[in-house]
């Protein structure tokens, strides 16, 4: 058994998730690099013996610069920023050029160290979608270094690894490539996965006035005096308008599947994002419990998401506010995935695998404990904000009815509102705009239609907005006293529910819509009529 510690360099080190995993297994993390000051401060705080450089990796564009700044290490790890490749960024259609440049900059360093013979193992971690943009090999020319078309680096191992299978309380799937031995899946059986409930039970309720004297780490099992637990005992409650929007996007998204609201606790967390939000589909939202009663909904605390990322409860995050700390954690590598990779390398090298040792706590300069959150109020939207939202909870057999302003020419001051019927999702989705008079004829014989129509007309009898004024009411985001498009859709849904209960299975023969379906759900046609009627009232 070799006793010498293997050395590690961590690029795009962020909060230090990669470094922490290797530290846990007894490796010596001697160098790290990031271009964001809070990341460097966090890495310095938790890994004080490591030389951490604050600089842009793109500056390391020559062999000389690389050799002058980057020390020789046995292992190089790195997690280039994933925002370019993330499926949540512009539905996966974001510009990939910067992300590809950063990956090449990282590979450039590895290629230099491989040629020198000092680097034995290397790992690159990123979102699954990034794998499509990483080649099997790169020439020196492609990496921007002397050497022409000769191969500078080959990538022998590629795969998708799920952090939950390595002991993290999060089903975070990541593309991992490089030269490394296969890590052991300590939690391959889903029954052994650490859940959000396990984390919450271990940390205790952050909203309780009293809490246990000792807190047990839900991932590593050691105990800590609760007075030393940072970034947890504070209020993360969210405003009603925030969680209501999130609930709608999760349960009634126009073309994506249903998600749980609030979170189903008996499973690991979903992927923790880098942006803290309570009003998106990706938001992680829990019930807010005070004195054993639900008082609303809340976001996870910083300590909770740190545990989801398998950071020990002693780990500190150096940020001046909650948002910065959230970004540090959401951008990190799961420590348990990193430690599994480190252990695999240690076994391959026959070096001693260290038992877990908690770090000495040196608290960050800003602890969220006791911080009170000011209730958020809706901010006005941009004047050209787009609106394309279906009638709430009226998605039936892949049909939905949408109120939309996306055909507007905002730059010319031309506002256009339309009622559209959508069928299917993605690029293959079909869209049709129905004629109100044709719908009236189709529904004329329906026994409930006459009373529904009268109720609809009465509900909107005072509506007298122009297309521009309706846009302005949407832009004001709840601060307008007149009818907004959101409120109009909610009212339409209430009217449909009032007059057409338990009729989702009823369909009408399709002779009036340019979508290749033999039948259309009755409630879709009712919704299209109601939405079309509302549009007909809008003055141009």
Q: Which residue has the higher pLDDT, 457 or 209?
A: 457
Element (H, E) at 215: strand 214-216
Give per-residue pLDDT as tens, 285-300: 999 999 889 999 999 9
In sequence order, the 6+-apart residues with CB closer than 8 A to the CB of 287 are 262, 294, 296, 297, 298
pLDDT score of 450 more than 80: yes
- The DSSP line for 390-456 is EPTT--BTTEEEEEE-TT-BGGGTB---EEEEEES-GGG-EEE---HHHHHHHHTT-TTHHHHHHHH
- pLDDT given at position 372: 85
pLDDT score of 364 more than 70: yes
Give per-residue pLDDT as tens, 216-265: 999 999 999 999 999 999 999 999 999 999 999 999 887 788 899 999 99
pLDDT score of 331 more than 90: yes
In the block, tokens 């069928």 appear at 423
Confidence of residue 468 (pLDDT cuts 50, 70, 90): very high
d(CA 86, CA 93): 9
- pLDDT given at position 94: 56
pLDDT score of 273 more than 50: yes
In the block, tokens 């940020």 appear at 319
Active-site annotation holder among 13, 52, 82, 334: 82
Average pLDDT, the chain: 93
**Interhelix angle 485-499/449-459, nearest 10 degrees:** 150
The pTM score is 0.89
- pLDDT given at position 89: 42
Q: Where in the chain is the domain with CATH 3.40.50.150?
A: 7-188+333-349
82 is catalytic: yes
Residue 140 · residue 111 · CB < 8 Å: yes
Confidence of residue 481 (pLDDT cuts 50, 70, 90): confident
Q: Residue 195 is encoded by which pair of tokens?
A: 């859940």
- pLDDT given at position 479: 76
In sequence order, the 6+-apart residues with CB closer than 8 A to the CB of 448 are 499, 500
Confidence of residue 3 (pLDDT cuts 50, 70, 90): low
Element (H, E) at 322: helix 322-330
CATH 3.40.50.150 holds for 7-188+333-349: yes
Q: Residues of the chain with pLDDT > 90: what percent?
A: 79
Give per-residue pLDDT as tens, 72-117: 999 999 999 866 655 444 444 556 789 899 999 999 999 999 999 9
d(CA 433, CA 528): 9
pLDDT score of 2 more than 80: no
pLDDT score of 201 more than 90: yes
Chain centroid offset of residue 13 CA? 20
């Amino acid at each position: 058994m070799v006793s010498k510690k293997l050395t590690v360099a961590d690029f795009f080190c962020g909060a230090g998730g990669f470094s922490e995993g290797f530290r846990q297994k007894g490796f010596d993390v001697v160098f790290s690099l990031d271009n964001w000051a809070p990341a460097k401060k966090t890495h310095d705080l938790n890994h004080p013996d490591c030389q951490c450089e604050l600089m842009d990796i793109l500056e390391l564009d020559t062999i000389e610069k690389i050799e002058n700044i980057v020390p020789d290490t046995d292992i190089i790890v790195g997690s280039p920023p994933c925002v370019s490749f993330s499926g949540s960024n512009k539905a996966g259609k974001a510009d990939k050029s910067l992300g590809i440049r950063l990956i090449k900059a990282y590979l450039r360093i590895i290629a230099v160290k491989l040629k020198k013979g000092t680097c034995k193992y290397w790992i690159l971690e990123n979102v699954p979608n990034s794998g499509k943009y990483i080649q099997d090999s790169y020439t020196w020319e492609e990496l921007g270094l002397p050497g022409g078309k000769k191969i500078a680096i080959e990538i022998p191992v590629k795969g998708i690894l799920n952090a939950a299978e390595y002991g993290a309380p999060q089903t975070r799937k990541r593309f991992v490539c490089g030269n490394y031995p296969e890590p052991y899946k300590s939690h391959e059986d889903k029954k052994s996965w650490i859940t959000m409930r396990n984390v919450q039970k271990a940390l205790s309720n952050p909203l309780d006035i009293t809490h246990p004297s000792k807190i047990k780490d839900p991932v590593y099992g050691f105990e800590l005096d609760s007075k030393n637990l940072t970034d947890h005992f504070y209020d993360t409650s969210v405003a009603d308008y925030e969680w209501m929007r999130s609930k709608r996007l999760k349960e009634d998204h126009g073309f994506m599947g249903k998600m749980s609201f609030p979170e189903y606790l008996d499973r690991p967390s979903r992927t923790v994002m880098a942006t803290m939000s309570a009003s998106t589909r990706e938001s992680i939202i829990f019930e807010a419990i005070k004195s054993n009663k639900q008082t609303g909904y809340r976001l996870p605390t910083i300590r909770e998401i740190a545990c989801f990322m398998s950071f020990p409860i002693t780990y500190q995050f150096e940020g001046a506010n909650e948002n910065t700390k959230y970004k540090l954690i959401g951008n990190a590598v799961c420590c348990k995935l990193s430690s599994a990779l480190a252990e695999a390398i240690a076994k391959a090298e026959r070096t001693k695998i260290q038992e877990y040792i908690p770090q000495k706590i040196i608290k960050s300069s800003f602890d969220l404990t006791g911080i009170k959150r000011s209730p958020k109020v809706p901010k006005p939207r941009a004047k050209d904000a787009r609106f394309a939202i279906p009638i709430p909870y009226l998605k039936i057999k892949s049909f939905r009815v949408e109120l939309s302003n996306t055909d507007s020419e905002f730059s010319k001051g031309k506002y256009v509102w339309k009622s559209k019927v959508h069928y299917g999702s993605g690029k293959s989705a079909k869209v049709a705009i129905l004629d109100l008079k044709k719908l009236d004829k189709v529904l004329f014989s329906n026994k409930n239609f006459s009373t529904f129509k009268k109720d609809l007309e009465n509900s909107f009898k005072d509506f007298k907005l122009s297309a521009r004024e309706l846009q302005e009411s949407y832009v004001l985001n709840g601060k307008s006293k007149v009818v907004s498009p959101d409120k109009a859709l909610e009212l339409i849904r209430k009217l449909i529910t009032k007059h057409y209960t338990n009729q989702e299975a009823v369909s009408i023969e399709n002779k009036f819509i340019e979508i290749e379906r033999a039948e259309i759900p009755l409630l879709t046609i009712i919704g299209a009529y109601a939405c079309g009627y509302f549009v007909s009232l809008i003055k141009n």
